[in-house]
Structure 1
Amino acid sequence: MAEEKICVKCKKIESAAKCYGCQQSYCIPHFLKHRLYLAQKMDALQDEHENLQKEVDENNYEQSFLSSIDTWERRAIRKIHDIAEKARNDIQEFIEKRKDQIKISLNNLCSNFNTTGKSDNYTEIEIDKWTKQLSELRHSLENPTNISIVEDRKTSSTIRGIKVIEQQEQEQLLCSNLISQTNNQKSEVLIEPIQEHFVPMYGPCTLSEDKCLVKHSSYRAGLSQISGFNNYSSGKHSIVFLIENKGPKNIFIGIHSTSKEVSSSTYDRSIYGWWNLDYVIMNGDNVDGNNSKEIIQTGDKITLIIDCDNQQILFEHHRIKKLVHLPVVISDCPFPWQILIRLVNSGPVLIRGLTEIVERRPNDPIEYLATFLYKQVQNTRAQKKKEEEAKQLELERQQAEEEKQHRAQLKNEIRALREQEENERKQREAEEKRKRDAEELARRHKELAAAPPPLPAVREEDDVFVVEFGETELHRQAAVQNANLSELLRDNYHSIASRNAEGKTPRDVALDAGLQENVDQIDTFCVQLLQNGNTKAINDLLLCGYTEIINQLKTIEDTDEDTNDFINNEIPQLLGKIKQLNQAIKDGDIETVDTMISDRKNFALYRDSEGSSSLHDAIENRQYNIALSLLQKYPSLALVKDIRDRASLDLLNSIDEDTITDEQRDAYDQLKEALISTSAGQQND
């Protein structure tokens, strides 16, 4: 016997043609429609091909790239304008600042004029001095040497910006105007970082494999001298040092000239640098400072800046944020320069004293050594006392910390007790409020129970039921204590799924009122519906969005095979199809919607937890063709209202007509006219 073929559209068994593309069978009418659908898609494909060919021939696609380049050009020009404007503003600010300084000097000078002129107590000396001061002020105004315009090399783009910088003036001069020092200020300089490594010159020292770490390698007293590898004759360069471990002696960091011959391994007149921030070496000799201070410590980060262009070196101490300048006399220390490091191991006290004598060469070595030894004894005693005081301070600090923690613990315990009391008070108030609300709800529902009964909650239309949402008699009685709900449930079981304006079913109302006996009556009635074989009532309640019934049905014990199959298979399938229909409406798939409704017309009358129907969903998703089709098949949907008392016409009227597209306009107008007509007709009936 030949296998029967079923048309995939109408589901009728008859002679059918098969499409070898989609592998589906059709009856002759539906096969012709299917071929017509394919022909339309082929025509659309040809039109798309012709349109694309036309665009390739006519459109200028490089225009978008040229527009991007033009945009970049405008942004770059705008950025240049912004940088230039900022530089102009900076120049104006610096000039105004300079003018203010000159005005102050002129006022002071004028005061001197007036005071001296009134007393007639001036000579050529005062006149020459004032003339020179006026000349210097004029020159300072016309030629400000502390302002320059430089290219901003930090800018990473191809077009470099410029910026205006103000160099720090020498405010504090030490040692015959040779050394300039500025504390807690960092001049902005353009520095080129450089790669360096150490090269031993003499003395006991050890280098790491990469030659970037050097340490003194002898336990005895001695001097180790190490140079850098690179030579510096131009530009600005920065070398960063990290002091990983430091002994009691200071470390020398500086430069020396590689073009001059050194007659002594311990004395080089081209050396410039620092044994300490306050102990300066120029031309090989100490010119200022005290080397006894230990400003540089283990873990410090030091930056040596070699400024060949301005013939100076800079020493930056990052921890204390201090920057020291040291001018270099080129005749004493000609280019090229190299960095120079000196490490000293102190050794025993006597040897350290002798080393100091060799380094400093005092006039009276014996007196110097005696003073040195005496100071060492004092330093040792002071250090011991300092350590004892530090221990005592640490002990007191720990005791204070323990006391602080104890007080904090007490505060936390007191706070916890207060919070516990406050929480208990709030719980008592919440319980009392819940009881009052339950009593008020019961009272209100008793008053509503005395009101006239509402209209019937269910209308039968050709075996199609429509549940009207709103406040029902079952809602009112569910909030009444010791109420008998059996008669109401038997007369109109559909009201179980009705929802009031708050979206609550009668079961929800009973739960809010704290009446578990009323909840049990509703749940028991739903279970009895299935036990009595009334699966249609269960399906009706599910279509109305009353999915709470599923948990109630699963409590049934000793169910037969048919009941189990209904609970575990048929109900999930029903809910899945409702969800599928809802999704098809949202997607605008009118073919799937028509197919599903034709299989089971009740699907079109589903309601969700908000009371929205299929017609509500179609209008809300602007699927006006589907909405018009649903309305034509089920006119009663026009009167269905959601929990917010909105009919489909109300929802359609809330849409801004300016947002309706030309493609939607015809279907929108037809739907609106049909809703108005259907609503009027239904109300008259």
Structure 2
Amino acid sequence: MAANREFFNEIINNIDDIFGQSQPVSFKANPIFKTEQGKYLADSLADPLIKALTEIANKRPKDPVAYLTGYLQNFMGERKPAVLVEKKRNGNTLANANSKLTNSRPAADFIEPDARSMNEDDEDGALAAQQLEERDEHGQSMLHFACARSHRRGALYTLIEESRIDLTYRDELYRTARDVALQANQPNNAVEIDRFIIAQAVLGDLEYFEQLALQGYDHILDIEDESGKVIMDVATERQHDTLVGFFNNLRTLEETREELHQTIRDKNMERLKELTAAPNAKWLIKTKNYYGRTALHIAVLKESEEMVQHLVQLSPEALKVTDNLERTVLHYALGTNFCESVSRILIQNGAKRTAKDLKGRQPSYYFINKADILRLQEEEDESR
């Protein structure tokens, strides 16, 4: 994990170079990559990833993630010998050295690596793409690291645009990358993040804003463009009526979510049933608050078997929703002092015992080491 952090930092320190020049950057000579883990990252990811990011920044494809995956697949393909199967020449087939392969496949001029090799390439490409989204054990992403430093204008925006990194990630202190930027006295970085979100409003990307709201991102309606125009007016001017309707309803949704969470803290079962009788009950149960927790997370922390049962029945999908450090509700349940009955409900409804959080811990870890979960219970008590 430490090597990943160093890898992130090295890329972040060179964002202006990566997105500000046409020549690829190589970091292999850096002392960071002299360690065993660092050397592995350098050999397997550093050069191809930087070259890929550079080409993406220059060509600006419509689907940068697909382009990145394809680039890395081609890179890996060049390192593996292609397989010559058979070739027709003047009506005659040149026999392949492997007779079984010749007899089982149709004639072809040239076939790229076989199915197994292609699967390996897919995995390599997915791994490289995942590197941009990966977070360390403290919940910090590449964007968190980037926002703590100053950059040339437009470089951070381009990083977000090309990587499509998740702006809603919260670290162990519940900070988004935007929060980190402001705390690090880098307001321009927060402006770049807001500028990217405004750009999605210009496009009318409703799904993007639905995800921001679902993940509990708390700077949507209050952001402005460079001329001081609020995001609602930006969407209205471009006649994105569906998005405008979503914005109009968003404040009410957020207030209802907070009321639901407070109702659970107060253990008011009657009011809980009233709030979850609404058509958008599933959304209310799955959406996260400032702490990255859902209604089900809070019900587990409050050790309310009745409330947990009710929420799981309405939205079993909430069992898979993780908090800011990717802990599931089962991670929480096994860390409480009265875990048996609640854990049984969760497991019977599909909660995975093998799910790992950002620290690589399965739920059973918290059955023995309860301190972290007990601290979360204290936070919820203080939120009443």
TM-score range, shorter chain: 0.3 to 0.5
Which structure has the larger Rg over C-alpha atoms? 1
Q: Larger RCO: Structure 1 or Structure 2 (Cα < 8 Å, ≥ 6 residues apart)? A: 2
Q: Quick check: which one's helix share is greater?
A: 2
The TM-score normalised by the length of structure 1 is: 0.28
The TM-score normalised by the length of structure 2 is: 0.47
